[in-house]
Chain A
């Protein structure tokens, strides 16, 4: 006991702050200043963009151009009655949305939104650079699926159960190709650290015509394709939105959820969307790197130019998500499994082998 006190006194004082308090504050700041507003405005953007795709206007009543709509939505969801079905398994029912939303938020702590500190008071544009960052991302993303299964089961509703089962099967099947496809950038970069992977994509190829992003690598482009398909399936978005297919399973695993608990599932889905897009940007599209140096906006202080580039790419991906939703019908469950197991996994495996061979033959 005295030993522990002594240790705390001598050692943990500054360390506790450095390793626990400061990251927590940073995560909370990131969440409330960046991620949550981003999500709520992505929802608005989705409704607006879908509206224009579908020859209608979208929300335009709350505030100018509907800009206050997200606030109204949040207030509505918070004020709604929180219904827990009588025959639901209460603890699991309550736990499920948290299980979905928490890991998705934690992943944000390793995503590099901008370049690391270049001195002169510029901050690191990420919370932490773990040297196993990508592994952490995959591990955390896997936890989310438990939330869906538990939510589907705990609701004690057959449609929910089927939605939960679908999402379990879907997410497990698609994690495999996703995991394999990220091996390609790992091999190319030689590191698991997300910052390191971005830094490995600096420079240009083909006489300076193309940035050396991994998406322009001969195997990287296919790996990106596999990653993206798997990622869309992972985040349960159209055309792979089977677990919540409203015309088949009413609302899938969140049929019985209402109010803020439903909102948490909703947040989780959009957070997942952002995570998948952000990882895609990081792994394949050079993260914060501009396509050409003269577009780097180096005149902006504190490396903000990099952040701007990252966010631009992120939005492009999110737009693609929304665009898909406006365009595609939905896959059927068995067709989805076919696609995952018969096409994506073999393809990803071949890509890993090919990349390793390429790396072996042309070490540069």
Chain B
């Protein structure tokens, strides 16, 4: 634990003694050529030395127990040959946009419209009877900014996979409530937090926040310190500037300017 390298770099790229070369600043022709040759030789020697050092280091690394080695950060790998991905791709063709895996988790990206069908297929044919989790994610710099992520588990094969659909602020996602009842509250939560609507959901209402809350708090553009939802909570009971006030970071006891209620609202 003596050296503090960033763990994201693979070990071979991160020798501590990487030579830095601040030379080659004098403009002169033959000197330059000589320098070049010299530099080339030097570079070669350095590279050799480096290779030796790397090999040595690798040997030392290999001798170490795994927790003392540098972290090997997983990367995305294409997983098109995975039998499940193949089966799905042959069945649904275009609807399966990609099949990749990260840290051993297979992730299928599914076209928005066919997620319910794909989910039903997974449940019926491949034993994924168990919806582990369903959640949303927000990537504001994308055109279709929202992800809805499904984690499935199969009791028969003991395997887990992840499905993902991408949507924007307007397009509703077909619900998977009919496939797994567990999706009901999860989809409500995604709606509550991101404003992503689910088509065909039996009870598309907010779940954690109250009806009448402005905005969807897990969107990246929702301010962390909250917004003044004051009068919007119970408009029939409170006039403007009255009513409960959620924290706005500073000066929360002071009177507020009138609320522009629907500016933060997503839809």
Let me know if chains A and B touch directly in the complex, using CB atoms closer than 8 Å. Answer: no
